[in-house]
Amino acid sequence: MHGQLRKIKMANITQAIKWMRQGKKITRPSWDSNSYWTIVSITQRIIWADGTNASVHLNQLEANDWKIWEKVDLSKISVDDLMQELIKR
């Protein structure tokens, strides 16, 4: 979205798995901006962005802050919108 940050929907692991089955990549706010999980369609393995197998920990299964990963093009976000988002956090 040009000039503004999109509101991100947070979800539990059940919804996050549905998103991955739809071909989407998932992440959590505490992860690096280029870190995400995705599913290998044939084997149904969960892998990291770099292709290594993901290890699922209990805290990840209990988390309610999963979201769809999207690469952000900072050149399309205004400085004011970015500052407002940082202030909220």
For residue 39 the two structure tokens come to 């599913």
The DSSP letter of residue 27 is E
Per-residue pLDDT of the chain (89 residues; tens, 9 = 90+): 344 445 568 899 999 999 999 999 999 999 988 899 999 988 889 999 999 999 989 999 999 999 999 877 767 767 777 677 677 65
Query: Residue 4: its pLDDT value, please?
Result: 42
Phi, psi of 39 (to 5 degrees): -105, 135
* pLDDT given at position 7: 57
Domain boundaries, given as residue ranges, for the chain:
13-88
